[in-house]
C-alpha cells in the first residue's frame, strides 16, 4: 500500500479534508504532518513516503517542504516554488502576465499613493493566512473602490507587516469563473461574484468546458509549477477573460467528488 504524507495546518485538518482523508485512508497509508503540533528533529528525519500533499501555506509549512525537496527525491504536491509564487500576488501577477495570461492591471504602491487606474480592489500582498474576504466598498465620482480589510490591517493595524498595498484593477463581471486544475484534468464552474453574493455555493453551477480558460489553466500550472490548483476568472462585457486569483490550496470540497479526484490523482502520481 502506498504511503502518502499530508502536510497540513489545524484549520484545513478540522474543516476542509474530512471526506478526503476518509477516502484516502481506504486506499493508502496516511501520515499527517500538522504545522501546529509537529516536532521535527533533524536527527530523526527519515521521510519514507511515496508522495507528499500540501494543504497549507504557512512559513513553517514552506520550511518542511523545502527540507523534503532538498533531502529526498519524494515528490511534493504542490512544490515549494509553486506555493511561494501562488501566495505572493505581485510575483504571480508578474509571472502570469509574462507568460501571456491576461491578468488585470496591477501595481504595488507605497501607503498613501494611489494606483494608475481609477477602479480597483486592494488585496493582501502575501496570502498565507486562513481568513474570510471582508470587503470595504466605496464609490467616488462613479469610480468603484474595494479594499480587503486584512490588506489594510497589514499596513495600518496593530500587526503591521508592510508599507505597501497591492492594487488590482477592478473587473466588472456578471459571473466569476472557477476553474480547477487537477493534474491534466480541468473542471469548470461559475458563480456570482463574491461582492454580489458572499455565499459561493448558493449560485455555483457546473458549466461546459471553455477552451480558452482550459488553455490558460494549463499555462498557469506550467509557469507556477502547480499540480493542484484553482483559478478565478472574471469576464468583461467584450468577452475578454482576466485571471484575478490563483490558489495553491484549493477547496476541492466544492467540486463534485473533489475529494476522490484529488486522492486518486495523488495515488497515480505516487506510482510513477
Q: What is the CATH number of the domain that holds 42?
A: 3.40.50
Mean pLDDT of 215-222: 98
Listed range (11-15, 109-113, 161-165, 232-236) with the worst mean pLDDT: 161-165
Residue 129's pLDDT is 81
Q: Are residues 111 and 227 in the same domain?
A: no
Q: Are residues 62 and 157 in the same domain?
A: no
**How is residue 216 written as a grid cell?**
490558460
Residue 19's pLDDT is 97
Q: Are residues 129 and 160 in the same domain?
A: yes
Q: Band the pLDDT of 17: cuts 50, 70, 90.
A: very high
Mean pLDDT of 120-146: 89
**Phi, psi angles (nearest 5°) of residue 128:** -110, -25
Count of alpha carbons within 13 angstroms of residue 270, beta-carbon side:
22
Q: Is the pLDDT of residue 176 over 90?
A: yes
Q: Which residue has the higher pLDDT, 156 or 40?
A: 156
| Secondary structure element (H or E) that encloses residue 223, with its range | helix 211-224
Q: Could you give the CA distance from residue 143 to residue 120 in angstroms, rounded to a whole number?
A: 9
**165: domain range?**
106-169
Instruction: Return the percentage of the chain with pLDDT > 70, whole number.
Output: 96
Q: How many helices (H) and strands (E) does the chain have?
A: 9, 14
CB atoms within 10 A of CB 254: 16
**254 lies in a domain?**
no
Q: Which residue has the higher pLDDT, 176 or 201?
A: 176
Q: Is the pLDDT of residue 121 over 70?
A: yes
Q: Band the pLDDT of 159: cuts 50, 70, 90.
A: low
Q: Could you give the CA distance from residue 247 to residue 231 in angstroms, rounded to a whole number?
A: 6
**253 lies in a domain?**
no
**91 lies in a domain?**
yes
The answer to whether 231 touches 37, Cβ cutoff 8 Å, is: no
Summarised one tens digit per residue, pLDDT across range 60-71 is 999 999 999 998
Amino acid at each position: 500500500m502506498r504511503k502518502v504524507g499530508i502536510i497540513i495546518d489545524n484549520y484545513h485538518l478540522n474543516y476542509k479534508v474530512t471526506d478526503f482523508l476518509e477516502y484516502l485512508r481506504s486506499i493508502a497509508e496516511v501520515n499527517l504532518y500538522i504545522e501546529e503540533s509537529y516536532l521535527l528533529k533533524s536527527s530523526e528525519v527519515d521521510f519514507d513516503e511515496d508522495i507528499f500533499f500540501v494543504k497549507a501555506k504557512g512559513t513553517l509549512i514552506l520550511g518542511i517542504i523545502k527540507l523534503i525537496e532538498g533531502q529526498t527525491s519524494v515528490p511534493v504536491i504542490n512544490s515549494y516554488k509553486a506555493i511561494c509564487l501562488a501566495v505572493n500576488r505581485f510575483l504571480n501577477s508578474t509571472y502570469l502576465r509574462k507568460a501571456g495570461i491576461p491578468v488585470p492591471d496591477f501595481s504595488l504602491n507605497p501607503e498613501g499613493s494611489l494606483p494608475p487606474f481609477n477602479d480597483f480592489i486592494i488585496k493582501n500582498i502575501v496570502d498565507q493566512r486562513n481568513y474570510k474576504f471582508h470587503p470595504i466598498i466605496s464609490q467616488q465620482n462613479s469610480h468603484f473602490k474595494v479594499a480587503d480589510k486584512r490588506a489594510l490591517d497589514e499596513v495600518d493595524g496593530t500587526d503591521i507587516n508592510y508599507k505597501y498595498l497591492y492594487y488590482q484593477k477592478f473587473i466588472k463581471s456578471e459571473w466569476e469563473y472557477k476553474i480547477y486544475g487537477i493534474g491534466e484534468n480541468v473542471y469548470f464552474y461559475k458563480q456570482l461574484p463574491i461582492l454580489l453574493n458572499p455565499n459561493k455555493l448558493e449560485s455555483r453551477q457546473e458549466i461546459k468546458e471553455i477552451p480558452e480558460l482550459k488553455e490558460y489553466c494549463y499555462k498557469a500550472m506550467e509557469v507556477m509549477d502547480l499540480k493542484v490548483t484553482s483559478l478565478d476568472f472574471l469576464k468583461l462585457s467584450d468577452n475578454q477573460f482576466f485571471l484575478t486569483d490563483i490558489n495553491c490550496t484549493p477547496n476541492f470540497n466544492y467540486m463534485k467528488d473533489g475529494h476522490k479526484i484529488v486522492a486518486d490523482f495523488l495515488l497515480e502520481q505516487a506510482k510513477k
